[in-house]
Amino acid sequence: MKFNVKPRILGSLVIASIAALPSVAVAQLEEIVVTAQKREQGVNDVGITVNAFDAQQLEAYGVQRPNDLEALVPGLTITNDQPAGVPVFTIRGVGFQNFSAGSSSTVGLYLDETNIPYSVLIGNALYDIERVEVLKGPQGDLYGRNTTAGQINFVSKKPTEQFAAGIDLSYGRFDTLDTVAYVSGPISESVKGRIAASYLRSGEGWQQSLSRSGDELGELDEFGIRGLLDFQLSESADLLLNVHYYSNQSENMAGTTLADFTFGALGPLATSDDNPEAADWTADHRPENDNNSVGLSARLNWEFADGITLTSISAWDDFERNDLYDTSGIPQTDADSTNKTDISVFSQELRFEWTGIDDWYVLAGLFYSNDEIDEDYLLENGGGILGLALGLDGLSTRWKQDSDSVAVFGHAEWQFAEQYRLTLGARYTQEERDWRGCTFDSGDGTLANLWNFILTPFLLIPAGAPDPGMLLPGECGVYDDIPSSPTFGQFAVYSQTIDTNKAMGKITLDYSPNDDVLLYGTVSSGFKSGGFNGAAVQTHQGLIAYKPEELLSFEAGIKSTLLDNRLQLNAAAFHYSYDDKQQGTVAVTPVGNIVVAVTNIPESEITGAEVESRWQLADGLIWDVGVAYLDTEIKRYQQVDAVNSVWPTIVTFDASGEPLDNSPEWQANSTLTFITPITSSLDLLIGGDITYKGDSVTVNQTIEGYTLYNARLGVSDNEGRWSLMAWGRNITDEYYYHSESISNCCSIRLNGQPEMYGVTFSYNWQ
């Protein structure tokens, strides 16, 4: 289904609807309180673009995973380049399409003010959640890490003064059971505690093998637990401890090939267009997860002087995985990858807040982090094209990355007149990232044979370069083709250290003509540090670090509360100047132009606008609407021509005028929720959602737009103790896909899930 939004028509409809609304007494909207600027404020009192959803909204909308937020937030897309366990978050066209575990996201991810530096660590953060905040635009003057795109804050529910407990039980299609339970309350006069757990399992997979009737993939097995202890150390100091654990033993999804074809001994390979459940994988090499993470954090708040508060946040997380992914979508072992990854993250943040100065709010902070990543990325091709045609079976890419970051940041707000507020922000970051790694022959000698008997004598050795000699099984098989390198002309481990020293700033002017309207304008800058390509490559040129990216943002917006606090209508327009955007591409290699590389787009621009409203149409009837328009354009970029390039000759073409990845021109969502009493003690809930996402591109592949419909019908007691809800997602069984990519053999898609339905029962003891 195609859906075209015309701004003029949309505006006319909104104005006409407001004018036609009967003038009757209707309950007012409840304001959501956020901590986007490190202190509690009403969401419409914050002079930045922020989308916030409280626990009731998240439950009503059926949000269960971070990926579900895409349907609620205009301008947010969440995709996956390949089925490699790394979600890609993009806000307003600012994102980084890369599946390496060592790639830091352009979107900052936080759980209870603790930074999640790599999106592979996100796991299941959305259980027992009080609120989710999505901030848009460069960030860095208030938070631990700097980002170019924006930020998503997950705020968990905290220990309560009184005893409380509850459980949510959901059962749905594919024999899926989703359970969340919590217990909270006082432990002593000065200590409160809360423990929450989440368990998700399914007995059936939702994907069906094209080559083996009855073989299913997609069974789920996830478990998470979070414990919080809140210590009231004194009248002016408190300490919150957070201990959490997450385990994922689910099956991974597989890709779907785009065409029927036959390749030698591979035999016929089939696909099924517009069937979301159609996919394929190797029968004895099933895609599956085996990952665990554990972490703890401590947040100390101490008001050691009148109006001056010290906040200290110490956090440590450790993540381990041994996951198998099928990136080819065929029933043979072709580009099957096993990622053995160990990530250890430590961070320390110190903030000082001054609130006792008339007309001023001042925050100053220090941030330090150390991240260590070890990965062994095994790529197996024995039954696929590279294995059959070139005898290339297994490649083991082993690398280690160490990162240290130190930053100082500050934020000051000055209410210099009754209706005006000036905000200044600044940050300086010094970062060092060290990378060392190589792609090794996995021990079977196939990579060594390829270099020794096919490539080395005829193609590889450039004029004047020394003979690299014979490569032995198990040795590093990446050729140093950088003339200035001390190991030029040899097969050698690649190592490089990059330093980033960058400053960013922000200036915002707020104007409030009355208590119901806020106008704001912001000029801000942001940056994201450079990094390294963690994929299997053949030469050192493919491992050279990509550069930092920088973004300059101009934004103006309005936040308004209308119709006697029954309508919240917000809008924003923005323009980004984007330099050196980090971008996935392909490397031109002796065995073909399918090797993943990372580069920078020198210049690009983004212009857009967003409108969102929340309207209390009548008692119990709320209508939420969000619309985002985005125009992204590459201004200067010589892109590798993968079709016409033949190693070692690289052909490029001018890609100026092309859009950026994951940047649909239009996104829209609409939710209608109606809650009404049906007896003296029971309430009825009826809800429905429509989500539209327009066409976009991902690494030069077009992703077709789609429209999804969700529905809910439930009953609850009016005291909030229990509820029973039936729900359906993608109720029209719309075919859609999140990404399209090229593997060794073919192009594949990662399909979205088909129609899902089920029931949820919730009960709370208080």
Tell me the per-residue pLDDT of 613-645, one tens digit each, with 9 for 90 and over.
999 999 999 999 999 999 999 999 998 887 787
pLDDT at 503 (0 to 100): 95
pLDDT digits (tens, 9 = 90+) for 37-85: 555 666 677 778 888 888 888 877 778 778 888 888 989 998 876 666 6
Better-predicted residue by pLDDT, 100 or 522: 522
**Do 427 and 140 contact (CB within 8 A), yes or no?**
yes
Determine the Cα–Cα distance for residues 491 and 494; give it in Å rounded to an integer: 9
DSSP states along 604-623: EEEEEEEEEEEEEEETTEEE
pLDDT tens digits, 96-129: 988 788 888 899 999 999 999 988 888 777 899 9
d(CA 574, CA 563): 27
Q: What is the mean pLDDT of residues 481-488?
A: 88
What does the buried/exposed string (b/e) look like for 298-320 if buried means 16 or more CB atoms within 10 Å of the residue's CB? bbbbbbeeeeebebebebbbbbe
- Decide if 637 contacts 644 (C-beta within 8 A): no
Q: How far are the Cα atoms of 61, 164, 232, 399 from residue 186, in angstroms, in the given order? A: 31, 10, 11, 47
**Which tops the pLDDT comparison, 5 or 541?**
541
Looking at domain 7-765, which of 2.40.50.140, 3.40.47.10, 2.40.170.20, 1.10.3720.10 is its CATH number?
2.40.170.20
Are 134 and 154 within 8 A, CB to CB?
A: no
What type of residue sits at position 439?
T
Residue 713, Cβ density class (10 Å: 0-12 exposed, 13-18 middle, ≥19 buried) = middle
Which tokens belong to 134?
Answer: 């999505």
Gap between the Cα atoms of 299 and 192, Å rounded: 15
742: tokens are: 């090229």
Residue 664, by phi and psi: left (phi above 0), alpha (psi -120 to 50) or beta?
beta
User: DSSP assignment of 307-335, as one string?
Assistant: TEEEEEEEEEEEEEEEEEEE-S-SSS-SS
- Under the banding of pLDDT at 50, 70 and 90, the label for residue 272 is low
Residue 516 pLDDT level (bands cut at 50, 70, 90) = very high
Domain coordinates in residue numbering, the chain: 7-765
C-alpha to C-alpha distance for 549 and 146, rounded to whole angstroms? 12
Name the residue with tokens 């896909």. Answer: 737
> At 34, which amino acid appears?
V
Cβ distance 28 to 564 under 8 Å? yes
Render the burial of 584-604: b for 16+ CB within 10 Å, e for the rest: bbbbbbbbbbbbbbbbbbbeb
At 5 the pLDDT is 40
Q: Where are the alpha helices (DSSP H) in 407-479?
A: 446-450
Contact status, residue 267 vs residue 330, Cβ threshold 8 Å: no
CA 525 to CA 577: how far, in whole Å? 9
Q: How far apart are CA 224 and CA 171, in angstroms?
A: 18
Structure-derived torsion over alpha carbons of residues 52, 53, 54, 56, reported in degrees to the nearest 10:
160
Give the mean pLDDT of the chain.
87
Q: Is 337 exposed, middle or buried (0-12, 13-18, 19+ CB in 10 A)?
A: buried
Do the beta carbons of residue 510 and residue 423 sit within 8 Å? yes
DSSP 8-state symbol, 453: I
Residue type, 10: L
CA 140 – CA 119 distance, rounded (Å): 18
Confidence grade of residue 450 (pLDDT, cut at 50, 70, 90): confident
3-state secondary structure of 762: strand
pLDDT score of 169: 96
pLDDT band at 8 (very low <50, low <70, confident <90, very high): very low
CA 133 to chain centre: 14
4 pLDDT band (50/70/90 cuts)? very low
Residue 139 · residue 108 · CB < 8 Å: yes
Its pTM stands at 0.90
Q: What is the mean pLDDT of residues 195-216?
A: 94
- Indicate the pLDDT class of residue 542, thresholds 50, 70 and 90: confident
